[in-house]
Structure 1
Amino acid sequence: MNKILIVDASASDSRVMSSLLSRAGYDPVCAESIEAGKQEAVELPPGAVIVTALRLYDGTARELIDWLKTEGYKFPVIVVMDLLNPADLLEVMSGGGAVDVIQRPAIDKQLVETVGKYARPEHIVLTLDNQLIPRISEAWKKVEARIDAIAATNANAIIFGECGTGKEQIARQIYQRSSREQKPITVVESGSAAFIGVHSPSSDRSEMYNRIKSYFSKSAGGTIIIKNVHLLSIDKQSVLMHILENEHPDVRVICTAEPELLKMVANKSFRPNLFFILRQSDIAVPALKDDTEDIPVIADYFLKRYAAKTGKQRKRLDASAVKALKLYPWPGNLRELKDVVLFAAFHAKDETISAEDINFNLSEPETVDELNRKNPRQEKENIIKAYQRADSWTGAAKLLGISERALLELRKKLGIDKNGQPLP
């Protein structure tokens, strides 16, 4: 909800304005002087509006407006005037001054409507927090069962899944459901500067060793989550391997990784001995495109959170929107679904979101499936899977990103019948 700064020396009028704005879904904050108003203005988020009295004991609305312009703030300012005196109007509104004025005796009639003209929509940010997002598919039920099974042990684990599938949330759930939950947790990103290390002059160890070792010391008895472990360089892998194999720290290690880690182990760009120490157990997180029955449930979850954060009525997906969401391949998985759904909720004119309100991202990296079309056997499997998901050749063509005519030619070439079955 938008912040509205009220700068007025009248405590009673400030209370009235705050009450009116709160009921209208705004978040008012009050200041009783120009100086206090300046301090509050510095903290205002984008989309805010300032409502100020024409005169206060330490200055005027024009002084506040000029200060805002000097400091580079472009919040719209609405001035409350006792009387609409032409001279005062000219002074406060000329030269890019106040955007509007309201009369003090008509606050109850004019305030909310006037603020509504200038309050820009607030950008709502929802993040994937540490809780599991509800899903209903059988594949997800197996994931939850696996979480409980691993949490009951002290085994290290790797969570495999595509980008944006919620791997870190699963890793945290293992920690939270385990006996180690009473001990510290450390989360570190393999591809960040966190693994570079800080040199200690009193130590004869490498900077990298000191940094990685410090994570284990800090998490003694608890858990370390290493995000995107496939991004570890060979040097960092060697240090981690040394600590785990020779020092045996009392720390459970849970890693997240994209499926390419398995190929890296095969071609020795990731040390196999380290891999098997880290992968004492594992979980494979299904991609969103493989569990389309979860999509409406997850989308509705995001819509509920959006409504709670904005204070607006919850929006719902109609059948056309659900179908459109199910047909999209979701290379960004949950993270991308969240962004698409929130964008639709923000821009939909009605309380029901239809397919026309949904805008999918136009620029996408080439997927493994697309690259594998060069392999005829893999290409054939991809086409059959696309047909099974879409339940029509029109939908399958959309999923594959090709025309229906091109898909028909491929079916003939690869031997796939109209029912999506391989020809004998």
Structure 2
Amino acid sequence: MARQIIISDDNVSDSNEIKRLLSGFGADIIQTLRICSAKELLTKFKTGDIVICDFKLADGNAVELMEWLDHKNIGCNVFVITDVETVADAVTSFRPGAKDYINKRLIRELLIPKIKTLIGRDDDDNFQLLFSRKSDGYLRAYSAAHVVAPTNLNVMIIGESGVGKEPLAHEIYDMSQQCDRPCVLMDCGTLHYLALNNNTKQQPTLLDAVASQFRKAQGSTVILDNIQQLSTDMQSIMLHVIANCKQPPRIIATASPDISEMVIEGGFLSALFYKIKEFTIALPPLRDCQDDIMLLADFYLRHYNQEFHKQVKRFDASAQKEMRVHSWSGNIRELKHVVRVAVLKSRGEIITSKELDFDTPNTGAHIQFKLKKDDEKSKITSAIVHANGNLTQAANLLGISLRTLLVKRKKYGLK
């Protein structure tokens, strides 16, 4: 279906180039030089139409335009473009609802494919999920990913299980200059099975198998998922393969928060760690992203409405309250499961607290056990006592993985 696209940019040359690149999409394209002209046109736009706006124009900026759109309840998809890309400006743009924040040098590589995808997709699919979060922590992480994506730097994404590290790794690849070449995903927890499936004439070895995977990604990208699960031997093999690649691929790795502790204690090779950790992105746990909880819940509600052929419209006040105070030790993975079960159990159009089955009990005590560097030891001790020695429950209270708790317990000499 044809859409209207408005390009608001006072650089006529840039505006004309964007129009040329979009000319084959079957959309009506209108160009303006000022924010005021864009507003006049946007009052006639339909929900779902597209706006491409320079971050700064002579009479205003894209943030002001998006705030005006929100005030007028005009539901357009806004892409912010810029000559000078900064993380601060990216965060500022995403907060009021920008679909993306793109450097003008990367219009062809990043903006055009995203608009093409948006025009051809339903507004309720996973494309929307990438841009539905508004918390400070997530916006900083996503903006950092956006800044590093066009470079060749290796990236390490650190976060708890279930926070969405692998999807962000794929998003970095999709925004990279290598996105037209094959990307190889390697699950570090199952790499020892690679040799069994590696087709070599001689007896296959783990070194052969890993080297084969890296050759597939020459000049492109390798995603190493859960690198903290690599055995010591496998770490040495990985380091050897990377060092001897003729055309080394870019590496995007995901890791749990205890990876730094493992390096300090000798459980992970520092040479491999710093080879991959050229740029670090920390993905915060869901409990630290309060602004995202209901946004994500509403997204999955719509998704599971389709799966179960339901017409559930919303969560009531009691359900929202319980979801906001829950500790979400399983992060987005747990939230997704809770919403799925709730939609399945619902008998009407509204989900109440009775339909919520949390994967982990919500004691409400997790806030008092939130770790801080200055009193980490005492917090860990209190959590273990509160959980009557059950380390799994203590880890849930602290908001960390059991493995991280074991590492910290050893560090502080706690029994």
Both structures adopt the same fold (TM-score exceeding 0.5): yes
Distance in 1, matches of 2:278 and 2:250, equals 11
SS in structure 2 of the partner of residue 313 of structure 1: coil
Match of 1:355 among 353, 356, 373: 353
Match of 1:170 among 161, 168, 171: 168
1:349-373 per-position Cα deviation (integer Å, ceiling 9, x unaligned): 2211111221212579xx9999999
Task: Provide the residue aligned with 2:217 in structure 1.
Answer: 219
Deviation of 1:308 (Å):
2.5
Amino acid of the residue matched to residue 197 of structure 1?
A
| Cα distance change, pair 146–362 in 1 and its aligned pair in 2 (3 A) | closer
Task: Provide the residue aligned with 1:182 in structure 2.
Answer: 180
| Cα distance change, pair 294–157 in 1 and its aligned pair in 2 (3 A) | same
Task: Provide the residue aligned with 1:242 in structure 2.
Answer: 240
The structure with more radius of gyration: 1
* Aligned partners of 1:327 and 1:399 also within 8 Å: no
Please state if 1:272 is matched with 2:270: yes
| Cα distance change, pair 343–214 in 1 and its aligned pair in 2 (3 A) | same
- Structure 1 unaligned spans of 5+: 1-126, 384-397, 402-424
Distance in 1, matches of 2:380 and 2:351, equals 30
- Structure 2 unaligned spans of 5+: 1-124, 382-395, 400-415
Deviation of 1:260 (Å):
1.1
Distance in 2, matches of 1:370 and 1:216, equals 46
* Aligned partners of 2:327 and 2:366 also within 8 Å: no
Match of 1:310 among 308, 311, 322: 308
Distance in 2, matches of 1:249 and 1:334, equals 36
* Aligned partners of 2:222 and 2:251 also within 8 Å: yes
SS in structure 2 of the partner of residue 180 of structure 1: coil
Task: Provide the residue aligned with 1:410 in structure 2.
Answer: none
Deviation of 1:232 (Å):
0.5
Alignment of 1:8-407 (within 5 A): 132=130, 134-193=132-191, 196-198=194-196, 207-362=205-360, 377-378=375-376
Distance in 1, matches of 2:358 and 2:379, equals 25
SS in structure 2 of the partner of residue 225 of structure 1: strand
1:39-62 per-position Cα deviation (integer Å, ceiling 9, x unaligned): xxxxxxxxxxxxxxxxxxxxxxxx
Q: CA RMSD in A?
A: 3.7
SS in structure 2 of the partner of residue 162 of structure 1: coil
SS in structure 1 of the partner of residue 178 of structure 2: helix
User: TM-score of the superposition, structure 2-length normalised?
Assistant: 0.56
SS in structure 2 of the partner of residue 301 of structure 1: helix
Distance in 2, matches of 1:129 and 1:229, equals 27
* Aligned partners of 2:369 and 2:398 also within 8 Å: no
Task: Provide the residue aligned with 2:388 in structure 1.
Answer: none
Which aligned segments of 4 or more residues in structure 1 are displaced greater than 6 angstroms? 127-131, 199-206, 367-373, 379-383, 398-401
* Aligned partners of 1:299 and 1:337 also within 8 Å: yes
Deviation of 1:346 (Å):
1.1
User: TM-score of the superposition, structure 1-length normalised?
Assistant: 0.55
Distance in 2, matches of 1:206 and 1:268, equals 29
* Aligned partners of 2:132 and 2:296 also within 8 Å: yes
1:7-28 per-position Cα deviation (integer Å, ceiling 9, x unaligned): xxxxxxxxxxxxxxxxxxxxxx
* Aligned partners of 1:156 and 1:280 also within 8 Å: yes
Deviation of 1:162 (Å):
0.4
Taking only the aligned residue pairs, the percentage that are identical comes to 31
